[in-house]
Structure formats: structure tokens, C-alpha cells
Amino acid sequence: NGYYYSGWSRCIHSSRDFSDMVYVANWIFNKDVFIQFNSTVGEFVGYTELGVYNAESWNKDPNRLQQARASVER
């Protein structure tokens, strides 16, 4: 009953060499991904109207963008 909000992030790699690692973070509202950060793309991507609005705003913030891009190194 009500609204459902969650998020998850993970690192994906296919070998022991971590140079090909990809960091993916998803923000989910009512079981639909509305915004995603993928280190291969290097910026936030929105999938809904709210997600597109947030992605544009977050991509304009150099601190938030740099922090997300550095997450693959953690």
C-alpha cells in the first residue's frame, strides 16, 4: 500500500582483471527504474519524466557527477 522507493548499485566484471569493471547504480520508484548511472556512459540517464528531469539536474552538478564516476574506483 502506498509508494515503493529503492535503489541498488553493483560492480560488474567478467574476469579477475578489474580494469573492465562497470559500476551501475539504479534508483527505483514503484518497481520501475527511473534513473540510472552507468560508469561506461559516465553520466546519469533518465527513463521516466521524473528520471529525465533529475538526470539533467544531476549531470549539471560537477560534484555529484565526479563522485559517481569515482565510484568504480572504490
Cα torsion through 50, 2, 31, 27, rounded to 10: 50
Rounded mean pLDDT, 50-64: 95
Residue ranges per domain, the chain?
Answer: 5-72
| Tens digit of each residue's pLDDT (9 = 90 or more) over 14-49 | 877 777 788 999 999 988 999 999 999 999 999 999
CATH architecture of 5-72: Roll (3.10)
Confidence category of residue 1, pLDDT binned at 50, 70, 90: low
Beta strands in the chain, from DSSP E residues, in sequence order: 5-12, 22-29, 32-38, 43-46
Cell of residue 27, nine digits:
534508483
C-alpha to C-alpha distances, 7 to 16, 22, 23, 31, nearest whole angstrom: 27, 17, 14, 10
Global confidence as pTM:
0.82
In the DSSP assignment, the letter for residue 53 is H
Of residues 23 and 3, the one with the higher pLDDT is 23
Strand, helix or coil at 72?
Answer: helix
Query: Over the chain, what is the mean pLDDT?
Result: 89
